[in-house]
Amino acid sequence: MISEKLEKAFNDQINKELYSEYLYLSMQAYFERLNLKGFVNWMSVQVQEEHAHAMGMFNYLHERGGKVELEAIEKPEIDWASPLAVFEQVLSHEEFVTSRINALMDVAEEVKDRAALSFLDWYLKEQVEEESNVGGVLATLKLVKDDAKALLMLDRELAARVFNPPVIG
Ligand SMILES: [Fe+2]
Ligand SMILES: [Fe+2]
């Protein structure tokens, strides 16, 4: 059985992961409007990953005899100034999520739930990968600046990203 305090912290994080899914879906729509199909693809993989992150915790809470409580999902932004502005926000959002995973692990440590800590290790590693992945795209976008040809080349590159359902925990 999971402690009430940790259960609450897991439910908060499920909401954050679902918000991430929603935010990236909104960004996907933005790239649809710009007709940048590679960016659309990249975001759609991101959306699926965030859904998988939420479901990993959803399933884990049940496995531990906890109760899932879904809260309202905050409305994401709809418009951005540029693809660069989008990826700046993606990186800062991922850094925020990393801080939330750390805070969740602090709660698990506090209630001495070692099983939960070991489960959450996967999320910690995933955040390192996410930040590095996003940081890579952001660095390229900074080089691209207003070069439309370079932007289209990056778009073609991002079209190659595929979703591999993660094995969580
Ligand atoms: Fe996530
Ligand atoms: Fe993420």
Neighbours of ion ligand 1 (CB under 5 A): 17, 50, 53
CA of 80 to the centre of ligand 2 (A): 19
Compute the distance from residue 61 Cα to the ligand 2 centre, in Å: 20
Residue 44 within a domain:
yes
Instruction: Say how many Å lie between the CA of residue 168 and the centre of ligand 2.
Output: 14
Ligand positioned closest to the Cα atom of 13: 1
Residue 165 falls inside a structural domain = no
Q: How many domains does the chain have?
A: 1
What's the gap in Å between 90 CA and the centre of ligand 2?
A: 8
Which ligand is in closest contact with the Cα of 93? 2
Which pLDDT value is given to residue 169?
86
Whether 166 is in a domain gets the answer no
Residue 50 C-alpha to ligand 2 middle, in angstroms? 6
Q: What angle do CA 113, 119, 121 make, to 5 degrees?
A: 105
| In-domain check, residue 168 | no
- CA–CA separation, 27 vs 127, rounded Å? 19
Give residue 158's Cα distance to chain centre: 17
Instruction: Let me know if residue 150 belongs to a domain.
Output: yes
Write out the residues surrounding ion ligand 2, Cβ under 5 A.
Answer: 130
Cβ proximity of 119 and 60 under 8 Å: yes
Answer whether residue 163 is part of any domain.
no
Cα 33 to ligand 2 centroid, rounded to whole Å: 23
pLDDT, tens digit only, all 169 positions of the chain = 899 999 999 999 999 999 999 999 999 999 999 999 999 999 999 999 999 999 999 999 999 999 999 999 999 999 999 999 999 999 999 999 999 999 999 999 999 999 999 999 999 999 999 999 999 999 999 999 999 999 999 999 999 999 999 999 8
Domain that holds residue 51: 4-69+78-158
Residue 90, domain member (yes or no): yes
In a domain, 169, yes or no: no
CATH number, domain containing residue 153: 1.20.1260.10
Please report how many Cα atoms fall inside a 13 Å half-sphere around the Cα of residue 100, on the Cβ side: 17
